[in-house]
Structure 1
Amino acid sequence: MFKYLVFVLFVAVSQADLLNQRENKGATLKPLSVCCDIPELGDPKHLANCSNPKLPGPCNDVQCVFEVSGFLIDVNTLNKKAYKNHLKQWEKNLTGWSVAVDKAITDCVDNDPRQHLNYPCKAYDVFTCTGIAMLKKCPAAAWKC
């Protein structure tokens, strides 16, 4: 009976260790962007407007959201005041994001970012820059990795 109990205990401990190894996978090569839980930046109404149907390509849907949101003067010119005001209003509704928003304004509104798609797309350039700036200054509470 004692041997049987030792065997059952051994199997239970082994299984527990295997389960623990599956849950704690260790290192990963996922894009760093998955580690920061950045809240949605777009107005749900504008996002819905540009999603039905979803426009193809890396630029068209972002371009649409920027146009209907008033963030562009024309396809190549950011409406800096409107986008800055949007980011500041977004910040007021969320705790802990002021440093990230300041970085986004400095890097992406006050400067002229270029993300180097095969064709120019101001909306994509600014939006991608904003995401990178937010990721660089991600608040600890939003960090998931």
Structure 2
Amino acid sequence: MFKWLIIVALVAASYGDPISESRDNKSATLKPLSVCCDIPELGDPKHLAKCSNPKLPGPCNDIQCVFEESGFLTDVNTLNKEAYKNHLKQWEENHAGWSVAVDKAIKDCVDSDPRQHLNYPCKAYDVFTCTGIAMLKKCPAAAWKC
């Protein structure tokens, strides 16, 4: 009996350590956490195309353009909360599994007044960045890729 136990142990050892092998296959990374959640496109392709031709420079201008084209702003500094909330709810209907993330985005980014602290104020950037962070925090397991 003892011989068989030794033989089984030797055979198992010859196949390696599956725990350390799986760890070896994943390298440490300093990539932003946002690359780990595969959030589907939030924008309307028509508005994205219009604001990309040519792509506007800076962190605010292209997002500002998309928000204006989408009707998400009542003026340059004011979010049209109902329009943006309705957009997120419609998006949620087309993307199963994202309801918790959308609810968090509405609570954190529509029902409150987020500020992302660029060097100059940009309501579209503030709301969009807040939305991305909220979605990342509640990323469904099926969309997690890290």
Q: TM-score, normalised by structure 2?
A: 0.83
Equivalent residue, structure 1, for 2:140: 139
- Partner amino acid for 1:126? V
Aligned-residue offset at 1:27: 1.3
Alignment of 1:1-145 (within 5 A): 24-145=25-146
CA–CA distance in 2 between the matches of 1:87 and 1:43?
A: 11
Equivalent residue, structure 1, for 2:12: none
Aligned-residue offset at 1:24: 2.1
Q: What RMSD over aligned residues (CA atoms) do the two structures have, in Å?
A: 1.3
- Partner amino acid for 1:65? V
SS in 2 for 1:73: strand
- Partner amino acid for 1:38? I
CA–CA distance in 2 between the matches of 1:61 and 1:137?
A: 26
SS in 2 for 1:30: coil
> Runs (4+) of structure 1 moved beyond 2 Å?
none
CA–CA distance in 2 between the matches of 1:89 and 1:143?
A: 22
SS in 2 for 1:113: coil
CA–CA distance in 2 between the matches of 1:128 and 1:68?
A: 18
CA–CA distance in 2 between the matches of 1:24 and 1:124?
A: 37
Report % sequence identity. Answer: 89
Stretches of structure 1 lacking an aligned partner (at least 5 in a row): 1-19
Aligned residue pairs: how many?
A: 125
Stretches of structure 2 lacking an aligned partner (at least 5 in a row): 1-20
Aligned-residue offset at 1:25: 4.2
SS in 2 for 1:27: coil
Instruction: After superposition, give the CA deviation of every residue in 1:101-127 in whole Å (9 maximum; x if it has no partner).
Output: 000000000000000000000000000
CA–CA distance in 1 between the matches of 2:90 and 2:40?
A: 13
CA–CA distance in 2 between the matches of 1:25 and 1:104?
A: 31
Equivalent residue, structure 1, for 2:6: none
CA–CA distance in 1 between the matches of 2:51 and 2:27?
A: 38
Equivalent residue, structure 1, for 2:13: none
SS in 1 for 2:74: strand
Instruction: After superposition, give the CA deviation of every residue in 1:69-101 in whole Å (9 maximum; x if it has no partner).
Output: 000000000000000000000000011000000
